[in-house]
Chains A and B, each alone.
Chain A
Amino acid sequence: MTLLEARRIEKTFGRTHALRGVSVAIESGEVVAITGPSGSGKSTLLHCLSGIMCPEAGEVHYDGRRIDTLDEAARTRLRRDAFGIVFQFGRLVPELTAVENVALPLLFNGDGREKSATVARDWLERMDALDVADARPGELSGGQLQRVAMARALVTGPKVVFADEPTGALDSLAGEKVLGLLLEAARVNGSTVVLVTHDNQVAAHADREIVVRDGAAAGVVA
């Protein structure tokens, strides 16, 4: 079953035509890698698929529902309910500790403080990052930041996990470790995973690759 789909979407930033009619369809339970050269539109595509941005033309559908026409509040609710997002540069809240960052999505969803903190610690432990629970993002290494960002993306048990260059700052063994933790957690949760990466060894962990070039899908290769 197709869970998430973009149909001929277009997105411009000023004079930059970031997406030029990309279509992709992602099945429930799949792990998909979106690859392509720097600046080809991978992050923009991920932002459109996850309802962070809306394309100017084309359509985005999730679970049988069109989402690009929903208002900001409805898209925010959808993201909190169904999506977990690991951003390209982490985007943790610098004033909060790691465990507070991970607990944030649960607090937004109305869970109590104590319960949220307990669940957050549990996810940090699964991501092998419990030792940095009380540190702030500024005090963490690249790999530790990625682990905390992943724990935050997974803490609500999302239907879809989006991860933008989740191993970007790491060497190949450290990257493999972190990616393994993410994919294992997603498998246990039954989540669909959309991985944006320019690293072929990361892409090789996915079931399928979608190559983006100059804002268009260059060939969807099974």
Chain B
Amino acid sequence: MSIGHVLLGLLTERPKHGYELKREHDDRFPGVKPIAYGQVYATLQRLERDGKVAVSGTAKEGGPERVVYEITSVGTDEVRRWLAEIEPPAPYVSSALSTRVVLALIVGGTADGYLLRQRAAHLERMRELTARKNTAGISAGELLATDYALHHLDADLRWLETARQRIGELTKEIRP
């Protein structure tokens, strides 16, 4: 996935200027790191060079004059082609937790303490996210992003429990 595709997608609604794109990106993808304005600007320039967007005019709403971009038919084709694809299932899942378990066994001979502390930290984060879901007036977009985070933390927790049950085998392998 690239910022270019995201901006093209947002431009299919109507022409927009760079600042508007930044604001919409941050509002609509609340689980994602906010995008820097400089990155929006650089991406729009590249998309314009490639003929995927074109300048359609300028807008002045109180503030400075801003360049408004519209999507071209090349851009529309590109975003539709991209949407027809899938994200590749990650071949190397982030393994920071797994690395810690192995190193805890190598260094200290036990991972029990680590597994309990990691579980507590994950669950605490899940509690915060659950509480956020219950706040009044939360947007559907934010709910969806929060659910995504919750399901991933849940997957980590289930892996931690499986790891705990396998710790005997692993210990034999690491410290025969």
* Chain A interfacial positions (CB closer than 8 Å to B): 37, 172, 180, 200-201, 203-206, 209, 211, 218-219, 221-222
Contacts and interface: CB of A to CB of B under 8 A. Distances in A.
A201 B119 contact: no
Contact of B154 (A200, A205, A221): A200
Contacts of B134: 180
Contacts of A201: 126, 130, 150-151, 154
B165 A204 contact: no
B126 A204 contact: yes
3 closest A-B pairs by beta carbon, nearest first, are: A204-B126, A221-B120, A204-B130
A204 B129 CA distance: 9
Contacts, number: 39
Interface of B: 116, 119-120, 122-123, 126-127, 129-130, 134, 150-151, 153-154, 157-158, 161, 165
A134 to B, nearest CB: 33
B126 to A, nearest CB: 4
B161 A37 contact: yes
A218 B161 CA distance: 13
A200 B154 CA distance: 6
A203 B126 CA distance: 9
A204 to B, nearest CB: 4
Given A37-B161, A37-B165, A203 B123 contact: yes
B123 A221 contact: yes
A173 to B, nearest CB: 9
Contacts of B154: 200-201
Contacts of A204: 123, 126-127, 129-130, 150
Contacts of A203: 123, 126
A193 to B, nearest CB: 15
A221 B113 CA distance: 12
A181 to B, nearest CB: 13
